[in-house]
Amino acid sequence: MGLRLIIGNKNYSSWSLRPWIAMKVAGIAFDEEVISLDAEDFKARVGQVSPAGRVPALADGNVQIWESLAILEYLAEKFPGARLWPADPGARALARAISAEMHAGFVPLRRHLPMNMSRPVMRGS
């Protein structure tokens, strides 16, 4: 059994998109399961692989990882050749700090500018 990445809508879930993009760019083979964020059975389906009941979640045999940064850390260890983090320890620490800040920070920005990849671009005059 290979890797299975369970995600929500790619238009609205930047957290889902993070491991999906990393795996695609790194050439890591995986099966993708998209569960609509509005699905009536969302919590029940996602809960099978994510105790938090949220996406993304990664299933690798008996290993289940939820939370996008934890998934990326797991993939970096499992596929070192993918070079998901910089090789230099200092650069790697900086990349992790920036990733953690972007992942958990900027709450006011995210509140006012939620992710919507299909929203038309507003051009200035």
pLDDT of residue 112: 63
> Could you read off the pLDDT of 91-114 as tens digits, one per residue?
999 999 998 887 776 667 666 666
**DSSP-H helix ranges across 1-125:** 14-26, 42-46, 68-78, 89-104, 107-112
pLDDT of residue 65: 96
For residue 42, give the H/E element and its range. helix 42-46
Domain annotation for the chain: domains and CATH numbers: 3-84 (3.40.30.10)
Specify the pTM: 0.81
> What one-letter code names the amino acid at 91?
A
pLDDT of residue 107: 67
Q: Could you tell me if 103 and 69 are in contact, meaning their C-beta atoms sit under 8 angstroms apart?
A: yes
> Could you read off the pLDDT of 19-49 as tens digits, one per residue?
999 999 999 999 999 998 888 998 888 888 8
pLDDT of residue 110: 63
pLDDT of residue 95: 94
